[in-house]
Amino acid sequence: MTRWNRFFLIVATVVLATAGAAVLLVGSLDFGPTDRFDPKARSALAGHWKSGNGGSMHIAENGDFSASNVGLDLSCSTTGDREQNPRMSGSGTWKFGGFPDEGPGFSIAFKPEGSDSDCTVWGVFGGNDASPEIRLLQDRTPEYYQRSASE
């Protein structure tokens, strides 16, 4: 065996061993739970959802949405002042579609009571199939909603 053949054999062995180790390493990484709540059908999302802060949402299979006592982004406030109007109620429509960097979710064209215009609210799916959650994206502490116990 010539010196060059021996050199190529050693290089090929090192490359194959490195590639094999990389495959094993990537295969052993834990990318988090694979059963994340990600409804693909409207019926899986439909129902009543409640937060620990007293907010409640009703998501209908036909695309209707209503909410009461929810904390939302300042852009949805009828007064433009969160201190005067920290929580609100209203209705609108929803559709599947995630916020670009937040993962799977849905968007809501929400019309607060006392307002003449809609604002866009984004919801992100969390939890898992056994204990699903929805988090509304807003300008303060996120508010988590869970399906009502009766459903």
CA 59 from chain centre, in angstroms, equals 15
Instruction: Give me the mean pLDDT over the 2-26 stretch.
Output: 77
Any domain includes 37: no
Residue 18, phi then psi, degrees to nearest 5: -65, -45
Domain total for the chain?
2
Instruction: Give the pLDDT score at 141.
Output: 65
Residue 45, token pair as written in the block? 């999302």
Radius of gyration of the chain (CA): 24
Residue 29, token pair as written in the block? 């990484």
Verify that 90 and 124 share a domain, yes or no. yes
Any domain includes 102: yes
49-87: b (≥16 Cβ within 10 Å) or e? bbbeeebbbebeeeeebebeebbbbeebbeeeebeebeb
Verify that 86 and 120 share a domain, yes or no. yes
Q: Which domain holds residue 82?
A: 42-147
Verify that 101 and 128 share a domain, yes or no. yes
Verify that 58 and 21 share a domain, yes or no. no
Verify that 66 and 139 share a domain, yes or no. yes
Any domain includes 55: yes
Residue 15 three-state SS: helix
Any domain includes 88: yes
CATH of the domain at 77: 2.40.128
Per residue in 69-118, pLDDT (tens digit) is 987 766 676 666 556 556 889 999 999 987 777 778 898 998 988 888 88
Tell me the residue length of the chain.
Answer: 151
Verify that 25 and 52 share a domain, yes or no. no
Any domain includes 72: yes
Any domain includes 96: yes
Q: How many CA atoms lie within 13 A of 95 on its CB side?
A: 3
Any domain includes 36: no
Instruction: Give the pLDDT score at 94.
Output: 93
Distances (CA, A) of 107 to 31, 90, 103: 26, 15, 12
Verify that 24 and 57 share a domain, yes or no. no
- What is the average pLDDT score of the chain? 79
Instruction: Give me the mean pLDDT over the 132-150 stretch.
Output: 78
pTM over 0.85: no
